[in-house]
Each structure stands twice: as C-alpha cells, then as structure tokens.
Amino acid sequence: MDEAPEFSGKALDALRQPLESGHVVVARSGGVVRLPARFLMVLAANPCPCGRHTLLGVGCECPSSVIRRYQARLSGPLLDRVDLRIEVEPVSRSDLLGHGTGGESTATVADRVLEARQRAAARLEGTPWTVNSEVPGHELRTRWTVAPGALGAAERDVERGLLTARGLDRVLRIAWTIADLAGRDRPEAQDVALALELRTGIARGVPAAAGAVR
C-alpha cells in the first residue's frame, strides 16, 4: 500500500483483525462466513504530505499540526501489528549513477531465505505450523526459548512501555527468523537486539548483517 496515510482510517483499521487471525469473518442476516485472509502487508509512507520533513537541506512546508495529523492516520493498534519498521534513506548520487558497490544477487538471497525456511520447518515438524510467523507467542516463550539472558533488552522495553505484549511476541518471531538466516540453533542477544531495532526503529548498536548474513 503506497502512500498508506492517504487511505481511509477505517479501511486501514479493518486490516487489524485479519492481520492478527489470518481470516475474515463476514456476518450477514443469512449467516456467518469465515474466509481465509493470510497475507503479507507492506505499507509505504512519507514523513509528511510534502515528503520532505526529515531530509536535511530541503525545507518542509507542512505545519507541525499537519505533520502530526498525517502521521496519526496510521493508528497505534495497526502499527502494533507491523513486524518491521524501516526508515529508507534518500538515494545517494553515487548509487543513483551506478557508482556504488553492488549488493548481493537475488539468487544468493533466495538461497539463504530457502535455507532459513527449511531450518524453521525442521524445528516445527510435527506441529500445526511451518514458519515462524505462525507460531503463537506462548509457544515461543515456553517451548522454543532464546539463549539465556537474550531477552534482557526486550524485557526492559516492556517495562518502559516501549513494547506491548503483542510486540514482544513479534520480536521473538523476528529474532527466530534472524537466527535461522544466520544458521544459529536459537536466537542470541544480538538477534533479539536486531529484532528490537527493526521493530521499534530505535538503534541498538547491532549491524544489520550480524543477524542476517553468515
């Protein structure tokens, strides 16, 4: 959904229930129908209506009240169901002109993702789930635990009100995915820290490559 804040608030909040449960319930006078609705949602948004609020050296013409109202269109309950929040930096002149260093090929990344999914599937064999995103938070906290002490930063964020119970569950799922990508048997402190950074947008001093690349 490009320019997500431009969508109706009612339309956006209607996504909350299917994001949480993976199905939609339609109730009418003639009966109730439950339909599958498991999907991957990607939201893209500018920081303000003009799009220049956070760019250095470029003036933003939007009043602060307009910026707050624009950003508030993505409600807290909806954002609480978004696993990853990434601020995209402006493209540099070098990258735009093709002078930057090349990244990994799609095939290389796809191989690593496939291997990570295979690790998750093997761990979850014999359960109703096949990928980390499907595992209930209770199971992640009791059945598949992280390394001792790895949840320290997450627990502090919960106590400070920076992370909800739902958010903690999603951090655990992200941490397991990071560990699977890195080939580790279970998440370590750096995996949880990176998951928290991706979840909250607050820098934790962990390089992104630490949990994603061997």
- pLDDT tens-digit series, residues 41-100: 999 998 888 888 876 656 788 898 999 999 888 998 999 999 998 888 777 777 777 765
| pLDDT < 70 positions in the chain | 55-58, 99-102, 207-214
- pLDDT attached to residue 189: 94
- pLDDT attached to residue 211: 45
Tell me how far apart the alpha carbons of residues 214 and 201 are, in angstroms, rounded to a whole number.
23
**Residues 176 and 169 sit within 8 Å (Cβ to Cβ):** no
DSSP one-letter string for the chain: -TTGGGS-HHHHHTTHHHHHHSEEEEEETTEEEEEE----------SSTTS-SS-TTS---S-HHHHHHHHTTS-HHHHTT-S---PPPPPPHHHHTT-SPP---HHHHHHHHHHHHHHHHHHTTTSS-SSGGGS-HHHHHHTS--STTTTHHHHHHHHTTSS-HHHHHHHHHHHHHHHHHHT-SS--HHHHHHHHHHHH----S--HHHHH--
At 34, list the tokens. 């439950």
- pLDDT attached to residue 88: 81
At 154, list the tokens. 């997450």
Model pTM score: 0.83
